[in-house]
Amino acid sequence: MTGGAGFVGGHVVASLVATGARVRVLDDFSTGSMDNLCHARTLGLADADIRAVDIAALEGQQEIRDWRPSVVVHLAANAAFARSIRDPYLDARINVLGTIGVLAAAASCGAEKVVLASSGGTVYGELPAGAARLAEDAPRTPVSPYGLSKLTADRYAELYRELFGLPHTALALANVYGPGQDPGAGVVAATARAVATGRRPLIYGDGRQTRDFVHVSDVAEAFRRAVNAPPCATVNIGTGIETRIADVVAEVCRCFGVPTTPRYAPERPGEVTRICLDNRRAAELLGWRPTVGLVEGIAGVVDTLRAPEPAGA
Ligand SMILES: NC(=O)c1ccc[n+]([C@@H]2O[C@H](COP(=O)([O-])OP(=O)(O)OC[C@H]3O[C@@H](n4cnc5c(N)ncnc54)[C@H](O)[C@@H]3O)[C@@H](O)[C@H]2O)c1
pLDDT in tens, 212-253: 999 999 999 999 999 999 999 999 999 999 999 999 999 999
**CATH, residue 143:** 3.40.50.720
Q: Is it the case that residue 191 has pLDDT exceeding 60? A: yes
Query: Is the distance from the beta carbon of residue 12 to the nearest atom of ligand 1 less than 6 Å?
Result: no
Instruction: Check residue 307 and give its pLDDT.
Output: 58
Quote the number of domains for the chain: 1
Q: Is it the case that residue 263 has pLDDT exceeding 50? A: yes
Say how many Å lie between the CA of residue 75 and the centre of ligand 1: 5
- Tell me if 185 is assigned to some domain: no
- Tell me if 121 is assigned to some domain: yes
- Mean pLDDT for the chain? 96
Confidence of residue 308 (pLDDT cuts 50, 70, 90): low
- Tell me if 246 is assigned to some domain: no
Identify the residue whose C-alpha is closest to ligand 1 atom 11: 75
Rounded Cα distance, 12 and 287, in Å: 17
- Domain with 117 in it: 7-177+214-240+276-291
Which class for 247: exposed (0-12), middle (13-18), buried (19 or more C-beta within 10 A)?
middle
pLDDT in tens, 79-100: 999 999 999 999 999 999 999 9
Query: Is the distance from the beta carbon of residue 236 to the nearest atom of ligand 1 less than 6 Å?
Result: no
- Tell me if 253 is assigned to some domain: no
Query: Is the distance from the beta carbon of residue 121 to the nearest atom of ligand 1 less than 6 Å?
Result: yes
Q: What is the mean pLDDT of residues 100-109?
A: 97
- Tell me if 287 is assigned to some domain: yes
- Tell me if 119 is assigned to some domain: yes
Q: What is the mean pLDDT of residues 42-68?
A: 96
Shortest-distance atom of ligand 1 to CA 175: 3
Query: Is the distance from the beta carbon of residue 77 to the nearest atom of ligand 1 less than 6 Å?
Result: yes
Instruction: Check residue 183 and give its pLDDT.
Output: 82
Q: What are the distances in angstroms from CA 202 to CA 163, 248, 261?
A: 46, 12, 9
pLDDT in tens, 293-307: 999 999 999 999 875
Query: Is the distance from the beta carbon of residue 56 to the nearest atom of ligand 1 less than 6 Å?
Result: yes
Query: Is the distance from the beta carbon of residue 27 to the nearest atom of ligand 1 less than 6 Å?
Result: yes
Q: What is the mean pLDDT of residues 165-179?
A: 98
Identify the residue whose C-alpha is closest to ligand 1 atom 44: 79
How many Cβ atoms are within 10 Å of 133's Cβ, its own excluded? Answer: 21
Confidence of residue 34 (pLDDT cuts 50, 70, 90): very high
Alpha helices in the chain (DSSP H): 7-18, 38-42, 58-67, 81-86, 88-92, 98-108, 145-164, 187-196, 216-228, 245-256, 280-286, 294-305
Instruction: Check residue 151 and give its pLDDT.
Output: 98
Identify the residue whose C-alpha is closest to ligand 1 atom 43: 79
- Tell me if 205 is assigned to some domain: no
Shortest-distance atom of ligand 1 to CA 57: 31
Query: Is the distance from the beta carbon of residue 176 to the nearest atom of ligand 1 less than 6 Å?
Result: yes
Shortest-distance atom of ligand 1 to CA 177: 3
Say how many Å lie between the CA of residue 22 and the centre of ligand 1: 21
Instruction: Check residue 313 and give its pLDDT.
Output: 43
Instruction: Check residue 306 and give its pLDDT.
Output: 77
Q: What percent of the chain has pLDDT over 70?
A: 98
Catalytic site positions: 146
How many Cβ atoms are within 10 Å of 231's Cβ, its own excluded? Answer: 18
Instruction: Check residue 305 and give its pLDDT.
Output: 86
Q: Is it the case that residue 103 has pLDDT exceeding 90? A: yes
